[in-house]
A = this chain, B = another copy of it.
Amino acid sequence: MNGLMQQHPLLISNLLVHAERHHSEQQIVSRRVEGDIHRYTYKDLAARSRKLAKALAALGVKPGQTVGTLAWNGYRHMELYYGVSGSGAVLHTLNPRLHPDQVVYIADHAEDQALFFDLTFLPLVEAVASRVKTIKHFVLMTDRAHMPAQTKVPGLLCYEDLLDAQDDRYDWPQFDENSASSLCYTSGTTGNPKGVLYSHRSTILHAYAGALPDSLGSSARDVILPVVPMFHVNAWGLPYGAALVGAKLVYPGAGMDGKSLYELFEGEGVTMSAGVPTVWQGLLAYTEANNLKFSTMKRTVIGGSACPPAMIDIFEEKYNVRVLHAWGMTETSPLGAVCTLKPRQLGLSPAEQRAVQAKQGRAVFGLDMKIVDSDGAELPFGGKASGELLVKGPWVVSQYFKGEGGDPLVDGWFPTGDVSLIDADGFMQITDRAKDVIKSGGEWIGSIDLENIAMAHPAVAMAACIAAHHPKWDERPLLVVVKKPGAEVTRDELLQFFDGKIAKWWTPDDVVFVDAIPLGATGKMQKNKLRDMFKDYKLPTA
């Protein structure tokens, strides 16, 4: 027997309709590639997204077809989020930091019909335009005045011209909520990138879960600045979640340096932000150097890779900004866990609370997680053994686009490739990527713990810990360090810094200092490249 409640598909266009009706005057502020600050409202966003949907139809884009973007965080990109998906087409956000060969591979694999891009990426598009196979329309996301006088891109269209040619009378189509809405490729370190194809249903459920008080806690009183790019896992869902609650949005465009971000934080009264640790390093370097404070920011979500405890301390203690440590991946939309404290922990000392906050957090309702041993048997919460983390839920991938890589699931659970502990309260802590674990004499050493300790040293700007070959133990930890500008520290001082912080046998066998650690397109350290660099490194203990 079915219930007798109304049947409404969970569609992304519903978010826009809601925001237009109930938060019409709420602002969306963008730092444009053109240099100025643009400001409009959800009402404007809704009208222009409808125009865009009509423009897409005029270009011949059909429901189910993919539309690519190469763009920063900004209002035009948000119009694409709603206009493309709302019309039934699929928004494919490409990562502009990828190598042109990968851009070509991904655009072809996704069969993109059109490509919308910011002025910044005109050179990249010029480099790939003649190579991509399916793109029929190249659209520069700017107005007529900023169009290039000449370009190698064939038939280049102007975004504002396309919109100007349409009126805003358009009813969002209603269709199955399981329809594909957007597509994002993982930044696979081995093999070709694989596509994760989100649905309207997964996006809306993820948006509900992400706004909960124990997730990001978003409300109409928030001013949200997503530093995390819209070309990477839908900016962690914030362009959807903000519309769901009617929050003000502030988009930084290409201005990702500390100074540009800080000006927006203060100028627009930002209360909440989200990004990867490396971005916050840049922002904190700027505020530290200029002795600045945050006057409106209440909390920041830090994920993408483990947040060093030292960074949590600085945000919380010096800036009075609550850190929401979070975990997720492209395959999980991305929200998997958020570290908001339970009541028992509110009674702990600040230092003890920080120790909890260093964990990636607990499962949000909708997503479940477990850790398993090498035989796939579930390990108990609160146990001492770490295991591979598996997740399941309606915003977790079931298979990759076009079936690439086969069936990734194990008994319905998605294996994350992360090695984790889950404590008795359900707080999960990533101890390593499965492939980054250091296997020393049959025992596992988690590289992230070692990196966090090294990062807490005042002279260290960035640290990676990788496995180096050892004739007796098979693998031993090697610490690779980038020093802060002007700071000095010796190998022995660094190794002593580990004393008392971990089991003695976890201490790295050696330290090497480098100018830079290679970062991937989403800002994560590329340890596979480091392992390559140091594959013949001879440890002094060997």
Q: Which residues from 186 to 227 on chain A have a C-beta closer than 8 Å to any C-beta of chain B? A: 196-202, 205, 208-209, 211-214, 217-221
- A365 touches B (CB below 8 Å): yes
**Is A395 in contact with chain B by the CB < 8 A criterion?**
yes
Known contacts A208-B212, A212-B212, A220 near B178 by CB under 8 Å: no
Considering only residues 397-419 of chain A, those with a C-beta below 8 Å from chain B are 397-401, 409, 412, 414
- Any B CB within 8 A of the CB of A343: yes
Task: In the complex, identify which listed stretch (A5-13, A157-165, A311-319, A457-465) lies at the interface while the others stay far away.
Answer: A5-13
Name A17's contact: one of B17, B199, B209, B368 (CB within 8 Å). Answer: B368
Q: Given the known inter-chain contacts A213-B213, A343-B221, A426-B21, please indicate yes or no for A398 contacting B365, CB distance below 8 A.
A: no
Nearest-CB residue, chain B, relative to A8: B394
Determine if A132 is an interface residue (Cβ-Cβ < 8 Å).
no
Of A242-250, A351-359, A532-540, the stretch lying at the interface with chain B is A242-250
Complex interface bits, A378-400 against B, C-beta within 8 A gives 1, otherwise 0: 00010000000000111111111
**A202 / chain B contacts, CB cutoff of 8 Å:** 3, 5
| A198 CA / B6 CA spacing, docked (Å) | 10
Whether A197 pairs with B394 at a CB distance below 8 angstroms is: no
Identify which of residues 8-60 in chain A touch chain B, using a CB-to-CB cut-off of 8 Å. Answer: 8, 10, 14-15, 17-18, 21-23, 25
When the two chains form their complex, are residues A199 and B64 in contact, meaning their CB atoms are under 8 A apart? no
* Complex interface residues of chain A between 325 and 368 (CB less than 8 A to chain B): 333, 340-343, 346, 362-363, 365-366, 368
A180 x B219 contact (CB < 8 A): no
Q: Is A90 an interface residue (CB 8 A)?
A: yes
CB <8 Å contact, B178 and A3: yes
Taking a contact as CB atoms closer than 8 A, the residue among B4, B8, B17, B245 that contacts A397 in the complex is: B4
Among A25, A176, A198, A426, the one with the most B-chain Cβ atoms within 10 Å of its Cβ is: A426
A87 on the interface (CB 8 Å rule)? no
Task: Please determine whether B214 and A213 come into contact, CB atoms closer than 8 angstroms.
Answer: no
Task: State in angstroms the CA–CA spacing of A202 and B4 once bound together.
Answer: 9
Given A22-B363, A340-B220, A342-B220, A4 and B214 contact (CB-CB distance below 8 Å): no
Answer whether residue A541 sits at the interface, using C-beta atoms and an 8 A cutoff: no
Residues of chain B within 8 A (CB-CB) of A346 are 221
Query: Which residues of the partner chain B approach A90 to less than 8 Å between Cβ atoms?
Result: 1
Q: How many copies does the complex hold?
A: 2
Contacts of A25 in B (CB 8 A): 425
Q: Is the CB of B208 within 8 A of A64?
A: no
B214 lies within 8 A of A220 (CB): yes
**A8→B180 CA distance, assembly (Å):** 16
Asked whether, in the complex, the Cβ of A342 is within 8 Å of the Cβ of B180, the reply is no
Most buried by B among A2, A197, A218: A2
- Chain B residues with CB under 8 A of A248: 343
Residues of B within 8 A of A341 (CB): 221
Complex-state Cα separation, A196 to B3, whole angstroms? 9
Task: With A6-B398, A8-B392 given, name 6 new contacts (CB 8 A).
Answer: A2-B176, A5-B197, A208-B365, A211-B213, A212-B212, A221-B343
Closest 7 interchain pairs by CB?
A3-B199, A213-B219, A5-B202, A208-B208, A1-B64, A22-B426, A4-B197
Residues of A in contact with B (beta carbons under 8 Å apart): 1-8, 10, 14-15, 17-18, 21-23, 25, 64, 90, 176, 178-181, 196-202, 205, 208-209, 211-214, 217-221, 244-246, 248, 333, 340-343, 346, 362-363, 365-366, 368, 381, 392-401, 409, 412, 414, 425-426
